[in-house]
């Protein structure tokens, strides 16, 4: 496919957006950017990426950082598991590879959190390796370019996409070729109203030729988001500027590993669930019988309805999983956007 390759590279040279991670070939910086960009928009990622690298400029700096500090830099980006896997991966780079990200693809792929996509991005962009990448944008471009009409997510489709990407990548500038595919998907070959008339590879595009652009890629069958009812408790000690709030940390919670409110859910929640959430967190407190607020929150696969209860004069014994916080200090620890929202709705005064 030399013609497609050439056209993509020529287009990329003139049309690529100027993004901070495109000004470096540091494999660590590229790793950070790729992890942040998974499921998150470019405009959102830019300031997070800059702050993260300013605080943790090297794999060693990140490996030595406290998990709370890492998660607080991620707070608001969501999908916190990504941050924890990146942290684990970088620790392994330090212990196994002396702080240098391995050039060899098999070693890279063995790092926690580094799948085929992330490994391909680091390998091609930082090390000039002819390794393919397939993400959502590349999937859309390739499905249209080659008229792949099986559903996204089906194993036959995945295999075909990776095969096509692997055939395109060999040659000069493999990293730029991969980025050109991603950039084309992000800016021209968009899900709705793609700009085929301005597309550098319209002449080779099978979907364009057969007028099937809008029908491709064939979406995966979607499950309806699950409705979940939850009771959350804002348990506080003290008053006014002295107030402190109890937070719990559980690997099993919705926001695995982040500090959050005691929370429990079932089909219909009431005060008894809030009481049980306090008991499970080992907090004793005076619970208001009625919720102070009702909050709706949407996650990728779940629609949450949360009754937020207040509990005052709360006592407990601090531990690895239960701690009191001054609400003003919460910016320094990892808490989710949802926890912030619940606290804003129900913290007294």
- Check residue 202 for interaction with ligand SF4 (CB under 6 A): yes
Residues 84-123 that bind ligand SF4 (CB under 6 A): none
- Check residue 52 for interaction with ligand SF4 (CB under 6 A): no
Segment contacting ligand SF4 by CB under 6 A, of 166-174, 197-205, 225-233, 285-293 = 197-205
Please report which helix (H) or strand (E) contains residue 297, including its range: strand 293-298
* Dihedral angle, C-alpha 280, 284, 286, 288, nearest 10 °: -10
- The minimum distance between CB 8 and ligand SF4, in angstroms, equals 10
- Check residue 189 for interaction with ligand SF4 (CB under 6 A): yes
Find the helix packing angle between 174-187 and 136-145, rounded to 10°: 90
What contacts 279, CB < 8 A, 6 or more positions away?
A: none
Strand partners, 264: 231
> Do 79 and 44 form a contact (C-beta atoms < 8 A)?
no
- Check residue 213 for interaction with ligand SF4 (CB under 6 A): yes
**For the chain, where are the alpha helices, taking DSSP H only?**
2-15, 27-37, 42-55, 59-64, 67-74, 80-97, 105-109, 116-127, 136-145, 155-168, 174-187, 206-209, 271-281, 337-346
- The minimum distance between CB 333 and ligand SF4, in angstroms, equals 44
- Check residue 144 for interaction with ligand SF4 (CB under 6 A): yes
Find the helix packing angle between 174-187 and 155-168, rounded to 10°: 130
- Check residue 208 for interaction with ligand SF4 (CB under 6 A): yes
- The correct pick among 62, 188, 233, 304 for binding ligand SF4 (CB under 6 A) is 188
Residues 145-164 that bind ligand SF4 (CB under 6 A): 145
Of 144 and 275, nearer to ligand SF4 (C-beta) is 144
Catalytic annotation, residues: 34
Of 28 and 146, nearer to ligand SF4 (C-beta) is 146
- Check residue 217 for interaction with ligand SF4 (CB under 6 A): no
The contact set with ligand SF4 (CB under 6 A) reads: 141, 144-145, 188-189, 194, 196, 199, 201-202, 205, 207-208, 213
């Amino acid at each position: 496919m030399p013609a497609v390759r050439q056209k993509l590279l020529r287009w990329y040279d003139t049309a690529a957006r100027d993004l901070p991670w495109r000004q470096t070939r540091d494999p660590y910086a590229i790793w950070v950017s790729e992890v942040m960009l998974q499921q998150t928009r470019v405009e959102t990622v830019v300031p997070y990426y800059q702050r993260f690298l300013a605080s943790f400029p090297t794999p060693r700096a990140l490996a030595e950082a406290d998990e709370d500090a890492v998660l607080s830099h991620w707070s608001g980006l969501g999908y916190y598991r990504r941050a924890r896997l990146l942290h684990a991966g970088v620790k392994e780079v330090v212990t196994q590879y002396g702080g240098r990200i391995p050039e060899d693809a098999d070693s890279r792929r063995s790092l926690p959190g580094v799948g085929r996509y992330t490994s391909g991005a680091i390998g091609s962009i930082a090390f000039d390796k002819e390794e393919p990448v397939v993400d959502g944008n590349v999937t859309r471009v390739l499905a249209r370019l080659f008229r792949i009409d099986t559903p996204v997510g089906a194993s036959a489709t995945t295999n075909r996409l990776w095969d096509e990407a692997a055939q395109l990548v060999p040659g000069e500038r493999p990293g730029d070729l991969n980025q050109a595919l991603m950039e084309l998907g992000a800016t021209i070959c968009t899900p709705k109203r793609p700009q085929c008339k301005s597309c550098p590879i319209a002449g080779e595009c099978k979907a364009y030729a057969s007028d099937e652009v809008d029908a491709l890629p064939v979406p995966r069958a979607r499950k309806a988001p699950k409705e979940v009812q939850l009771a959350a408790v804002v348990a506080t000690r003290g008053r006014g500027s002295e107030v402190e709030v109890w937070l719990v940390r559980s690997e099993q919670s919705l926001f695995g590993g982040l500090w959050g409110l005691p929370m429990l859910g079932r089909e219909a929640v009431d005060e008894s669930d809030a009481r049980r959430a306090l008991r499970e967190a080992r907090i004793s407190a005076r619970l208001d019988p009625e919720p102070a607020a009702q909050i709706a929150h949407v996650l990728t696969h779940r629609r949450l309805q949360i009754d937020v209860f207040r509990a005052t004069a709360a006592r407990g014994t601090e531990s690895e999983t239960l701690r009191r916080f001054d609400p003003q200090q919460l910016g320094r620890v990892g808490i989710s956007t949802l926890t912030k929202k619940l606290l804003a709705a129900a913290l007294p005064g």
